[in-house]
Amino acid sequence: MKNLKFDLKKTTGKARLGVLHTAHGKINTPAFMPVGTAGTIKAMTPDAVANTGAEIILGNTYHLMLRPGPNLIEKFGGLHKFMNWKGPILTDSGGFQILSLSSLRKLSEKGVVFQSHIDGSSHELTPESSIEIQYKLGADITMVLDECTPFPSNIEKTRTSMERSMRWAIRSKDAFIPREGHGLFGIVQGGMYPELRFESAESLKDIGFDGYAIGGLAVGEGQDMMLKIVDNITQELPSDRPRYLMGVGKPKDLIGAVLRGVDMFDCVLPTRSGRTGQAFSRKGEINMRNSRHKNDTRAIDPACNCYACENFSRCYIHHLIRSKEILGSTLLTWHNLHYYQELMHALRKAIASESIEAFETEYLTQLDGGDFPALKDK
């Protein structure tokens, strides 16, 4: 096996069912990657994450280069051994975090000099150093360094940003060390301008990558525009390579993107929501801080078989959240990650049975029903 291997098993409309083979195991697609920014999925153990059905997780170059540092992680045998995660890992290149977290940054053709959000120290990240850091981390899937275009931006600024990202993509590929079961993904940029997105996709195809990501979305443009851009650009990407929509998103976003040909996703939403008292369910989002759960003996979702729903009541989880107990964050995060993985499983099943559009209709109809209104307290 050279680099990564992607087997496209079936297509239903534009939706795709596949398997991505990596050095640390296979990933069934469509797939959702829990975000382990600093080498951990917050509030979860690696075994608990795997128990939710997750086959791959995401780590981040920006955070890990600042602490504990790539050299230390390499010394311990890479990120897999350092955090005791046995499955595949994708590492984001750090570009988005520099834009969103660093208050002082200086962008040039060489790369970006930025100030750490932790202690204010100065650091430089270039396409070459980003690839080197990800190599030391031992990532199965490495991302090119790109410039994340702010939203909104006019077409001139967006073109300048996109073209720089394409030049950085060439340098990233030149710096990447091919090895069995590992791969490099390019990132399509171009903001909200279809013609720039098309140019970016063509440039990346000319360079040649093991997979293609769609970046610069879910930044405030709204779902309709996001899905329109996704629909346009996925059809320009190679059918024999995985497609990854970065930083997305809500369950309805995932379904809409799968229907438009996306294979992979990541988002902090299920874990962040778990830490703020929010639970996802077949009937929509549930605020577990709400006092109406104080005497509710039901599970978060009566149809869910996650650890939290099989063992604890809404009443108890409400108590934990209101008491600011760590276990409350753990149980809600566990439930949310399980929910996202069950959604991915259901999407894969619907693609296999050629019923993906019916699945979307049924899912949206369930959401309209509210928080299990027909169910009585146990």
206 is catalytic: no
7 is catalytic: no
83 and 222 together in one domain: yes
Residue 95 — very low, low, confident or very high, per pLDDT cuts 50/70/90? Answer: confident
Please report whether residue 163 resides in a domain: yes
45 and 174 together in one domain: yes
- pLDDT for residue 1 is more than 70: no
Whole-number average pLDDT of the chain: 95
Q: What percent of the chain is modeled with pLDDT above 70? A: 97
Please report whether residue 377 resides in a domain: no
Closest CA to 274 of 343, 345, 341, 337: 337
Q: How many domains does the chain have?
A: 2
Q: Which pLDDT score is estimated for 303?
A: 93
- Cα-only R_g, the chain: 21
Which residues, in sequence order, are CB contacts of 326 under 8 Å at separation 6+? 43
Q: Which pLDDT score is estimated for 99?
A: 75
143 bridge partner residues: 185
Looking at 215, 241, 267, the residue that finishes a domain is 267
d(CA 154, CA 313): 50
Q: Residue 326's domain spans which residues?
A: 274-367
Q: Which pLDDT score is estimated for 373?
A: 60
β-strands 141-143, 89-92: how paired?
parallel
Looking at 25-88, list the stretches that DSSP marks H as alpha helix, in order from N- to C-terminal side: 46-51, 61-66, 70-75, 79-83
* Phi (first) and psi of residue 69, to 5 degrees: 105, 140
Please report whether residue 39 resides in a domain: yes
247 and 306 together in one domain: no
> Is the full-model pTM beyond 0.85?
yes
Kindly name the residue from 146, 210, 253, 266 that is annotated as catalytic.
266
Please report whether residue 375 resides in a domain: no
107 and 246 together in one domain: yes
**259-315 pLDDT, tens digit each:** 999 999 999 999 999 999 999 999 999 999 999 999 999 999 999 999 999 999 999
Q: What is the CATH number of the domain that holds 218?
A: 3.20.20.105
Closest CA to 181 of 142, 213, 134: 142
Looking at 251, 267, 283, the residue that finishes a domain is 267
146 and 12 together in one domain: yes
* Phi (first) and psi of residue 184, to 5 degrees: -120, 130
Question: From residue 271, how far is each of 11, 12, 99 by CA, in Å?
Answer: 30, 30, 22
Residue 368 — very low, low, confident or very high, per pLDDT cuts 50/70/90? Answer: confident
Q: Which pLDDT score is estimated for 105?
A: 84
345 and 324 together in one domain: yes
Kindly name the residue from 92, 140, 210, 371 that is annotated as catalytic.
92
Q: Which residue has the higher pLDDT, 211 or 375?
A: 211
Q: Supply 268's token pair.
A: 């902090």
d(CA 332, CA 340): 12
